[in-house]
Chains A and B, each alone.
Chain A
């Protein structure tokens, strides 16, 4: 989506989030606001009463057309900590499997007067489609659509980087592995670029890192040592085993030998580099257990940060929707 179109779909007239579909088109101010708000929610998780009333009386529907445990659970926790009523729907085993169209499913859910849909879908652009076809004033949060975007995952990664590195300027970041199929990598690339890191390197063989990514502002490396040299942040992506036989790679063992993150390959990065992974981890396929559990790893921090980031995004989008509704009502009144 062109930046202006994306902005128009995601932001209300005052420039506040009303949906959260992609990071494309969102500027540094908004991303920083998300991170700042998430920071404030982080400390809340340590309190005995882990709730704020920002979404009290609102109904959030987790609409997962694709399986996910981690993401759905953190969204559910985030919504509950914002005091929302939460419904989880696994659509794979529901109406669409009986032939109902996505639009029909949505219209039924809208008729139940939901306020927010958290959507995961296997088709790229599905969250945009839902945002365009939904009743006004229902906020759509993209929880991962096809290969396109996973903006909350990228933002929790940004929060993790900021909390460990303090800032983005001057950082070099390597994202390693199955870039081609990764919605996380696409959103990370956009977030890192917007937030002003020095360099984003995408590392992997040509089958997994097509050259077109260089036109999106990334530096492409097909050699792991060159890719990790002096980087501050290493993001390892899950190598999807189901794709291993698809002529993309000869074998897991060869991939691990060439691109796996081990203590030896990590030594090419800066001494204080952090290691991230969106999970689930395939130990011995893309990352060794020593590194995954080692001192550089911030993988579990990512999970914790994920709840705070999702709380931030959900509260901002709901606020943007409410403001939009008030504006709409005002306009109606003027007529």
Chain B
């Protein structure tokens, strides 16, 4: 299969590229940029005039809800939402039902993803059996079955000793471990950032120390064991400082943030609106700005959607009684681009954190338009004004505060390995 994408504006921060050039694809990979290779006879030409041609997005956190929670979403529906949002590679967490603690479940997810034919899907395996924090999972078997990392998610480890041993074991086999730092004894019962707004509205608070106390412990154990570590969904200013210090000390660590944590702060609690109930919670404005500064400084390498679709009733309740999470993968790029409006980030940095940055965190061959890369790319109409509505959504999730919002910029087509997977109708 040969493909020529012509007259598009190619933007790829991984090779510092921003120019109107043609892109050439052969046998699923990018074979040339600008000039066609010798004897290249394209079978198909894609006219990208007026469009941006960007690397497919790499999202480190998309809950597909399958197996086990198909009332909230499925691999097919959420995969479709992902490609509509420009995501060509996604990582899904291990907390499915059953949990991804056996190779069979990891294989099932990938088989279903292949069947759906949407985004490339890479599961994270459970660090401990049943995510119960007691017995180590068969980590090596899980990675052999396609898991790209292991994690206990937000589930507690039984003790620091078990965690330490799990990290030692993972380090033995050079496995990547994903941490969601949270000291449950500090966060227990909380539903919102412990600050002025939670105090004013009587919502039980989650202090930032719930994250930083756990993060400090985790970093010390990472240092001790030498394991490769990724810290997921950081939300506090102090965490950025701690990750920066760890990197400066030479630890092999990376980190990401959820997009909503850099777009919103806890003043939205004024609305008692369960759609803003997320974990970790939306923090104070100072935290939000520091997270953005962490991105600018390169401390944070990835921005993810932290897509967590829910059925309607999961959010129809008083704030604390709602299930946490937002379902925003479908608008990942347009929503992220609203950060540019306030001048918080430049587009190159933003795109890096949505493409090559997250790919590098997990060692994935994705997120770049460089010659030799898989031809995972999107066409983006940067001028399109459109409304994302409840009716036209692709996700099965009902839980986004952004339904009915107007966005500028829209993914018009998504290609994976040179195959068009999504076309805006």
| Any A CB within 8 A of the CB of B179 | no
| Any B CB within 8 A of the CB of A147 | yes
Give residues 176-206 of B contacting A (CB, 8 Å): 194-196, 198-204
| Any B CB within 8 A of the CB of A126 | yes
- Alpha-carbon separation in the docked complex, A91 to B379 (Å): 54
| Any B CB within 8 A of the CB of A1 | yes
Asked whether, in the complex, the Cβ of B195 is within 8 Å of the Cβ of A212, the reply is yes
Asked whether, in the complex, the Cβ of A128 is within 8 Å of the Cβ of B272, the reply is yes
Give residues 1-21 of A contacting B (CB, 8 Å): 1-2, 5
- Alpha-carbon separation in the docked complex, A212 to B195 (Å): 6
| Any B CB within 8 A of the CB of A242 | no
A215 neighbours in B (Cβ, 8 Å) = 196
| Any B CB within 8 A of the CB of A121 | yes
Other-chain residue from B196, B270, B320 in contact with A124 (beta carbon distance below 8 A): B320
| Any A CB within 8 A of the CB of B319 | yes
Asked whether, in the complex, the Cβ of A101 is within 8 Å of the Cβ of B196, the reply is no
Give the contact-size bracket for chain B. 20 to 34
Asked whether, in the complex, the Cβ of A125 is within 8 Å of the Cβ of B319, the reply is yes
Asked whether, in the complex, the Cβ of A147 is within 8 Å of the Cβ of B202, the reply is yes
Asked whether, in the complex, the Cβ of A102 is within 8 Å of the Cβ of B202, the reply is no
A5 neighbours in B (Cβ, 8 Å) = 270-271
Asked whether, in the complex, the Cβ of B318 is within 8 Å of the Cβ of A216, the reply is no
Asked whether, in the complex, the Cβ of B319 is within 8 Å of the Cβ of A186, the reply is no
A98 nearest CB across to chain B (Å)? 16
Name the prevailing secondary structure of the B interface residues. helix
| Any A CB within 8 A of the CB of B45 | no
A95 nearest CB across to chain B (Å)? 15
- Alpha-carbon separation in the docked complex, A183 to B200 (Å): 10
- Alpha-carbon separation in the docked complex, A212 to B317 (Å): 26
Other-chain residue from B194, B195, B272, B318 in contact with A121 (beta carbon distance below 8 A): B318
Give the contact-size bracket for chain A. 20 to 34
- Alpha-carbon separation in the docked complex, A121 to B319 (Å): 12
The 0/1 profile, CB within 8 Å of A marked 1, for residues 306-350 of chain B is: 000000010011111100000000000000000000000000000
B317 neighbours in A (Cβ, 8 Å) = 101-103, 123, 129
Asked whether, in the complex, the Cβ of B318 is within 8 Å of the Cβ of A126, the reply is yes
The 0/1 profile, CB within 8 Å of B marked 1, for residues 145-165 of chain A is: 111110000000000000000
Asked whether, in the complex, the Cβ of A123 is within 8 Å of the Cβ of B321, the reply is yes
| Any B CB within 8 A of the CB of A213 | yes
B286 nearest CB across to chain A (Å)? 14
- Alpha-carbon separation in the docked complex, A102 to B313 (Å): 10
Known: A1-B270, A1-B271, A129-B272. A212 touches B199 (CB 8 A): yes
| Any B CB within 8 A of the CB of A206 | no
- Alpha-carbon separation in the docked complex, A147 to B204 (Å): 8
| Any B CB within 8 A of the CB of A294 | no
The 0/1 profile, CB within 8 Å of B marked 1, for residues 132-156 of chain A is: 0100000000000111110000000
| Any B CB within 8 A of the CB of A196 | no
- Alpha-carbon separation in the docked complex, A121 to B202 (Å): 13
Asked whether, in the complex, the Cβ of B201 is within 8 Å of the Cβ of A125, the reply is yes
Asked whether, in the complex, the Cβ of B320 is within 8 Å of the Cβ of A146, the reply is yes
Other-chain residue from A2, A103, A124, A129 in contact with B202 (beta carbon distance below 8 A): A124
Asked whether, in the complex, the Cβ of B320 is within 8 Å of the Cβ of A123, the reply is yes
| Any B CB within 8 A of the CB of A210 | yes
Other-chain residue from A1, A102, A183, A212 in contact with B272 (beta carbon distance below 8 A): A1
Residue of B nearest to A124 (CB): B202
A145 neighbours in B (Cβ, 8 Å) = 202, 318
Asked whether, in the complex, the Cβ of A103 is within 8 Å of the Cβ of B196, the reply is no
11 A-B contacts (beta carbon < 8 Å): A1-B201, A1-B270, A101-B313, A102-B318, A103-B316, A129-B319, A145-B318, A146-B203, A147-B203, A186-B200, A212-B195
Taking Cβ atoms with an 8 Å cutoff, the residues of B that contact A are 194-196, 198-204, 270-272, 313, 316-321
